[in-house]
A and B are shown apart, each in its own frame.
Chain A
Amino acid sequence: MKVAITSTGNTPESKLDSRFGRCSYFVIYDTDTKEMEFVINPNKEANEGAGPASVKLIASYKVEKAISGEFGFKIKSLMNEINIQMIIIQEEKTIKEIVDMLKN
Chain B
Amino acid sequence: MKIAIASGKGGTGKTFVSTNLFQIFQSSGHHTLLVDCDVECPNSLIFFKLKKISDTLVMEYRPKIDLDKCNYCGRCSDYCEYNAIFCIPELEQIRLLSNLCHGCEACAVACKQNAIKDSKTEIGKISFFTDSYNHIFIEGRMKEGKISSVPVIKSTIKEASFLSYDYMILDSSPGTSCPFIQTATRADYIIIVTEPTPFGLSDLQQAVETLDTLNKNYGVIINRAGLGNADVYDYLNKNHIPILAEIPFSKEIAHLYSEGKLAVSYIDDVNELFKGIYNNIIDNGSSIY
Contacts of B83 in A (CB 8 A): 43, 46, 48-50, 52-53
Complex Cα gap A59–B95 (Å): 14
**Minimum CB distance partner of A54 in chain B:** B83
Q: Does B53 contact A (CB under 8 A)?
A: no
CB proximity to B under 8 Å, residues A47-92: 47-50, 52-53, 55-56, 59-60, 62, 74, 78, 81-82
The distance from the CB of A40 to the nearest CB of chain B, in whole angstroms, is 17
| Proximity bits, B62-106, A CB within 8 Å = 1, else 0 | 000000000000000100111110111011010101011000000
**Minimum CB distance partner of B97 in chain A:** A52
Report yes or no: A48 in contact with B86, Cβ–Cβ below 8 A.
no
Task: Tell which of A48, A49, A56 touches B88, judged by Cβ atoms closer than 8 Å.
Answer: A56
**Minimum CB distance partner of B87 in chain A:** A56
Known pairs A47-B81, A59-B91; A78 contacts B100 (CB<8 A): no
Task: Tell which of A48, A60, A81 touches B90, judged by Cβ atoms closer than 8 Å.
Answer: A60
Total number of A residues with any Cβ neighbor in B under 8 Å = 17
The distance from the CB of A59 to the nearest CB of chain B, in whole angstroms, is 5
**Minimum CB distance partner of A83 in chain B:** B91
**Minimum CB distance partner of A60 in chain B:** B90
Q: How large is the interface on B (under 10, 10 to 19, 20 to 34, 35 or more residues)?
A: 10 to 19
The distance from the CB of A68 to the nearest CB of chain B, in whole angstroms, is 18
Contacts of A50 in B (CB 8 A): 83
Report yes or no: B81 in contact with A55, Cβ–Cβ below 8 A.
no
**Minimum CB distance partner of A59 in chain B:** B88
Contacts of B88 in A (CB 8 A): 56, 59-60, 82
Report yes or no: A82 in contact with B91, Cβ–Cβ below 8 A.
yes
Report yes or no: A49 in contact with B90, Cβ–Cβ below 8 A.
no
Complex Cα gap A47–B82 (Å): 7
The distance from the CB of B195 to the nearest CB of chain A, in whole angstroms, is 32
5 additional contacts (CB under 8 A) given A48-B82, A59-B93, A81-B95? A47-B82, A48-B83, A52-B100, A55-B86, A82-B91
By a beta-carbon cutoff of 8 Å, the part of chain A in contact with chain B is: 43, 46-50, 52-53, 55-56, 59-60, 62, 74, 78, 81-82
Interchain Cβ contacts under 8 Å between A and B, 10 examples? A48-B82, A48-B84, A52-B83, A56-B77, A56-B86, A56-B88, A74-B100, A78-B86, A82-B91, A82-B93
8 pairs of A and B residues whose beta carbons are closest in the complex = A49-B83, A53-B83, A49-B100, A48-B82, A59-B88, A52-B86, A52-B83, A49-B82
